[in-house]
Amino acid sequence: MGVVNVTPDSFSDGGRWLDPDLAVARGLQLLEEGADLLDVGGESTRPGATRPLVVEELDRVLPVIEALVAEGAPVSVDTMRSEVAAAALERGARMVNDVSGGLGDPAVLDVVADADAAYVAMHWRAHADVMAGHARYDDVVADVVTELGQRVDAALAAGIDADRLAVDPGLGFAKTADHNWALLRRLDALAVLDLPVLVGSSRKSFLGTLLASADGTPRPALEREDANAALTTVAALAGVWAVRVHEAGKALDALRVVERWLLPEDQEGPSA
């Protein structure tokens, strides 16, 4: 899943693709690099971010979605608003990637069900401006699995078929770096939900902290790609359905390594 941020304030590339033409070009570049799906979002969810007006979010994402769909691109809309989800699906998006799992706007579940679209429910506890205060868990892995299961139940109750659902543990959302690492070590715990798993670690702050310089300065967001490629390898070996990335080429290289690693010996040819 290739990230197309049509925002002025995203933590990693805010403003770079705010112009619709640049965003479309970026999406097509990600497809050329090997992305299978483009995730177009118009609201930054970085820690501390304030929300745009609904009309602002619509104005940001709809022209980009329309243009990418016209080019034949498979598109997901990254939104937690039912109005934005409905408009995006009407314009050809195939999936709603909802970081709130339906908690931000419960009507989004009905929109997805009515459109017979796919849906990703992410683990979430609060909006970006206050989520840091909600990073308290008895057992982060068990709590995330339980709370995600509740969101899955809500999606099913709304009429979204199980074969159109996926889940995301929500790395960085109301979670400390230690919480993120605990979840990555235990991705297998999500198997109890019996749904495809999406992992979005790309460029996040816990990688910047891990790669900090000697004086403690976090590694800049645009310089975390190699570390994320390593995490892509780990996630793929854990059997996840998809990884959400800013650079599709490096992620695909990692996935090719995993694919070759897992190839049964009896399928190896002389050139394999």
Tell me which residues are annotated as active site.
Answer: 204, 244
The 3-class SS string of the chain reads: CEEEECCCCCCCCCCCCCCHHHHHHHHHHHHHHCCCCEEEECCCCCCCCCCCCHHHHHHHHHHHHHHHHHCCCCEEEECCCHHHHHHHHHCCCCEEEECCCCCCCCHHHHHHHHHCCEEEEECCCCCCCCHHHHCCCCCHHHHHHHHHHHHHHHHHHHCCCHHHEEEECCCCCCCCHHHHHHHHHCHHHHHHHCCCEEECCCCCHHHHHHCCCCCCCCCCHHHCHHHHHHHHHHHHHCCCCEECECCHHHHHHHHHHHHHHCCCHHHCCCCC
With beta carbons less than 8 A apart as the criterion, state whether 66 and 91 touch: yes
Contacts of 170 (CB under 8 A, 6+ apart): 99, 122, 123, 124, 144
